[in-house]
């Protein structure tokens, strides 16, 4: 009897596990397999949170890179090269990111990697890629220290990892831009700053605070929340009794949406502003329809508004992807395309074949990459940061994000 129950249990668990695995790998089986005999395969690694609460963003990243690879294959962008992607799940956990980086490095066909989403995860991956000389392009990391070193704030910027590039603008640009908008355009003078203690959130909140104070505004209080927690009512009441006329939140949308909602429930009718981490439909849907008037900055112009993006959106929709391209789809496509362009340059230089030291050559070629991408002009400066400093402020209006100001950032 006992044995039979155990067998049933094992069967149930195994079936469950198998179903889940099947679920996760369905996409992988359906693509590729078509590389013809003469073509060399180049794999673009993808690392993003494919499960967990940030999976909506991660799936968008994976699909967009997949689209870039497929487009390159279809147009025969690099003759003799067949691009494939290998997508790994980091669950927004630094240790998983590091393990994935090691795995990608171990695969000789990988010549570049796109990802990760989270700045904190990037920190754990950079060293691994640097050692292997493998190019990494993040579509979403905005923490300045990743490319400019820990002392960037003291005017001592120095490139730390020569293999690290990114297609989105940093928090220096984003945090200052947000402070300028809130102070000059929205006319808010007293802000309460909350962050989630993560690399991204705390960094962004600090840059914002410095700039807001420099402009003449006042930071009337600060607090921190813990990721994955959901009850912020005590913090919300502190915000209310501080007399702040606005809130700045450095963090991601799961906590940001709840925080904004709970602040408004205390009766304080003040807007919450945040960075690209809260610029997601789930920020709004997650907290009812109460957060009209909240702001978010995001890097680049609205993807839908750029002429270069129309083709991307059409192709993405035609690609039959299950999840939307989300906030970083355009940047991910450009990140993937930058790697493809670098491979193209390397191959062209070497008489149409991949050289022996392809990884090192690709990293070198990245510095010279320049093309008109989905998100505008794509090229990298001496730190590996994007030269594109376009930003947009979005406001929640009637339950949807609406762009209210797009500009190129000026210091």
Q: Which residues bind another protein (CB under 8 A)?
A: 2, 5-6, 8-9, 12-13, 16-17, 19-20, 23, 51-53, 55-56, 59, 194, 197, 222-226, 228-235, 237-238, 241, 254, 257-258, 261-262, 265-267, 282, 285-288, 290, 323
Q: How far is the CB of 8 from another protein (least distance, A)?
A: 6
Q: How far is the CB of 198 from another protein (least distance, A)?
A: 11
Q: How far is the CB of 250 from another protein (least distance, A)?
A: 13
- Is 197 or 218 the residue whose CB approaches another protein more closely? 197
Q: How far is the CB of 270 from another protein (least distance, A)?
A: 16
- Is 6 or 314 the residue whose CB approaches another protein more closely? 6
- Is 21 or 184 the residue whose CB approaches another protein more closely? 21
- Is 112 or 250 the residue whose CB approaches another protein more closely? 250
Q: How far is the CB of 28 from another protein (least distance, A)?
A: 16
Q: What is the DSSP letter of 322?
A: S
Q: How far is the CB of 285 from another protein (least distance, A)?
A: 5
Q: How far is the CB of 304 from another protein (least distance, A)?
A: 20
- Is 136 or 262 the residue whose CB approaches another protein more closely? 262
- Is 374 or 396 the residue whose CB approaches another protein more closely? 396
- Is 220 or 360 the residue whose CB approaches another protein more closely? 220
């Amino acid at each position: 009897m006992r044995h039979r129950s155990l067998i049933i249990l094992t069967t149930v668990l195994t079936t469950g596990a198998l179903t889940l695995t099947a679920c996760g790998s369905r996409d992988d089986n359906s693509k590729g397999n078509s590389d013809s005999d003469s073509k060399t395969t180049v794999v673009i690694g993808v690392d993003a949170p494919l499960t967990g609460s940030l999976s909506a963003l991660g799936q968008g990243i994976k699909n967009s890179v997949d689209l870039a690879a497929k487009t390159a294959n279809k147009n025969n962008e690099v003759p003799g090269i067949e691009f494939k992607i290998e997508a790994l799940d980091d669950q927004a956990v630094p240790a998983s990111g590091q393990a994935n980086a090691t795995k990608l490095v171990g695969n000789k066909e990988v010549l570049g990697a796109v990802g990760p989403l989270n700045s904190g995860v990037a920190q754990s991956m950079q060293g691994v890629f640097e050692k292997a000389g493998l190019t990494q392009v993040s579509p979403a990391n905005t923490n300045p220290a990743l490319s400019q070193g820990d002392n960037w704030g003291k005017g001592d910027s120095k490139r730390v990892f020569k293999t690290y590039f990114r297609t989105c603008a940093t928090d220096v640009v984003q945090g200052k831009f947000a402070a300028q908008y809130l102070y000059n355009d929205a006319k808010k003078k007293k802000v309460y700053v909350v962050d989630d203690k993560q690399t991204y959130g705390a960094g962004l909140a600090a840059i914002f605070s410095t700039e807001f104070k420099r402009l003449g505004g006042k930071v009337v209080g600060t607090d921190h929340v813990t990721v994955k927690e959901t009850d912020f009512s005590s913090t919300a009441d502190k915000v209310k009794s501080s007399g702040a006329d606005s809130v700045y939140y450095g963090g991601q949308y799961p906590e940001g949406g709840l925080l904004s909602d709970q602040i408004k429930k205390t009766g304080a009718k003040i807007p919450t502003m945040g960075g690209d981490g809260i610029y997601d439909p789930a920020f709004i849907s997650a907290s009812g329809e109460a957060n009209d008037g909240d702001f978010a900055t995001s890097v680049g112009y609205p993807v839908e508004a750029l002429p270069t993006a129309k083709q991307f959106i059409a192709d993405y929709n035609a690609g039959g992807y299950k999840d939307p391209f989300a906030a970083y789809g355009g940047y991910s496509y450009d990140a993937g395309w930058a790697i493809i362009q670098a491979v193209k340059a390397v191959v062209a230089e070497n008489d149409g074949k991949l050289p022996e030291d392809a990884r090192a050559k690709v990293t070198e070629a990245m510095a010279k990459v320049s093309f008109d991408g989905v998100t505008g002009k794509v090229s990298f400066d001496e730190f590996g940061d994007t030269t594109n400093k376009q930003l947009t402020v979005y406001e929640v209006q009637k339950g949807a994000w609406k762009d209210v100001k797009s500009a190129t950032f000026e210091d």
